[in-house]
Each structure stands twice: as structure tokens, then as C-alpha cells.
Amino acid sequence: MISNQKIFEKEHHIMAKLRNHENIVHLIGSVASEKHATPYLIMHLFTKGDLSRFLSAAGQEYSEIFKIDAINDILKGMKFVHENNIWHLDLAARNCLVTDEGRIKIGDFGNASFAKRGKKDLPSKVNYRWMPPEVLRKQTITWKTDVWSFGIVIHEICHAGKLPWQDLPILEDLPKAAEIMENEPLPGSNLNSDVDQMMKSCLAKLKKRPSFQKLSLLPLPK
């Protein structure tokens, strides 16, 4: 069992390594001492909140430009994360924050891990709703886990924060949920064919799922 202190130290280390990218939440510092029973990471305040709530706010309509920019921001951030040999393992709209200028920064690296060859076990806390079919079946992850999660985030951005496959039996039957994810086609992005292709590539079967480096080469309005 990993202690909370060890988890804190790992997240601090990872965020410190990633602190200089414009699409990653900037770590200002931390508070950890005998006087503080719970250690804290210090980051900027994002008054617009997380991307999931921002997208699903009642009565809000967001432009195609905002959605394309959000997808590009997260893609650039995740490309940088993987270039630093780190897997996020909890990528979701709820873990991305919206700046006052309407740009997106990736946060919450509590589940993140330095990359290892091949596969590794799941973190102790994981939200299966953003996990790919092979994780639901075998409980192991690879670098392609983050790519699938990015595909789910694209769907969230394009459909007002809604998740695909609304009735997945995540809590009751993981193998059945995996089967649905693999076989039931998703609606398009409602943006353009380039976004449709990117989302489809992210949600492809394991062997066909591209890296963030390759995704960054796909045509997408800048």
C-alpha cells in the first residue's frame, strides 16, 4: 500500500518536471511539514473551473473555435507529458482547467506514473469510464491508455461535457462494457471530418491506436 506521503511526493516530482509547458497546470510550490498533517500542492486559481463543468453549464453554447482550441491545447499538453516519459492515467475533462482567456491546462497528476516498458498495473484509484476496453478486461495499462482517454475527452468537448456510451454497465459488468465500447459506433464530433478522424483514431483498438506524436501530425485547424 503506497502512503499518501509517497503519492504526494510523486505528484510533486511529476508536476515539477512538467511545469514549463503552457498547457500544463503550473506548480508554484508545496506545503509539507510536521505542522501540516496533510501536504498541499500550490497552484494558480482557475476561476472558470474545470472543463467538464464549463462545458455542461446550463444555457452555454461554445464556438467551434473554442472547441478546436481546447482539443489542440490538450493534445499539445499530452504530447509533452509523453515526451517526458510520463503517463497521466486520469485524463478527463474534469481534470483539465479553463483559464480566464479560455485556454486549457491539464492538471491532477495524482495517478500519473513514470513510463515503464510494456504494461503496468492500474493505480489504486481509477475511473473506468475513461479507460479503454483492454484495461476493463485485463486491468493493465500501457502508454496507449492515455490516448483512449483523450478520445473520450474529445467527445466531451464536442458534446457539451457528455460521455459516450451513456448506459455502459461499468459498475456491473466490465467485460460487457468493453464489448459495447468496441462494437457500438459513436456519433460524429459535430465539428468537422478532421476532428471525427482524430477521435476515431484515439478510440481504435489497441494495436491501431496512434501516439500523441502521430496525432499531432493529423490535420486539425490551428
Does an H or E element contain 178, and which? helix 174-183
CB atoms within 10 A of CB 115: 13
Strands (E), 56-141: 86-87, 96-98, 104-106, 113-114, 120-121, 140-141
Angle at the Cα of 70 from the Cα atoms of 67 and 75, rounded to 5 degrees: 130
| Architecture of the domain whose range is 46-215 | Orthogonal Bundle (1.10)
Between CA 209 and CA 191 the distance in angstroms is 22
Question: Does 3 have pLDDT greater than 60?
Answer: no
163 vs 31, higher pLDDT: 163
Do the beta carbons of residue 206 and residue 134 sit within 8 Å? yes
The answer to whether residue 121 is catalytic is no
Could you tell me the pTM of the whole model? 0.89
Do the beta carbons of residue 155 and residue 191 sit within 8 Å? no
Set 90, 108, 146, 173: catalytic member: 90
Do the beta carbons of residue 150 and residue 203 sit within 8 Å? no
What is the domain partition of the chain in residue ranges? 46-215
Tell which phi-psi region holds residue 25, choosing left (phi > 0), alpha (psi between -120 and 50) or beta: beta
Between CA 219 and CA 31 the distance in angstroms is 43
179 vs 32, higher pLDDT: 179
Between CA 182 and CA 133 the distance in angstroms is 7
Between CA 18 and CA 39 the distance in angstroms is 20
Mean pLDDT of 24-38: 67
Query: What's the confidence (pLDDT) of residue 31?
Result: 65
Does an H or E element contain 136, and which? helix 133-138
Confidence of residue 33 (pLDDT cuts 50, 70, 90): low
Q: What is the DSSP string of 48-78?
A: T-BHHHHHH-TT----HHHHHHHHHHHHHHH
Best CA proximity match to 178, nearest among 195, 203, 147 = 203
Mean pLDDT of 84-106: 95
Between CA 4 and CA 2 the distance in angstroms is 7
Question: Does 1 have pLDDT greater than 50?
Answer: no
Between CA 180 and CA 188 the distance in angstroms is 17
Between CA 57 and CA 10 the distance in angstroms is 33
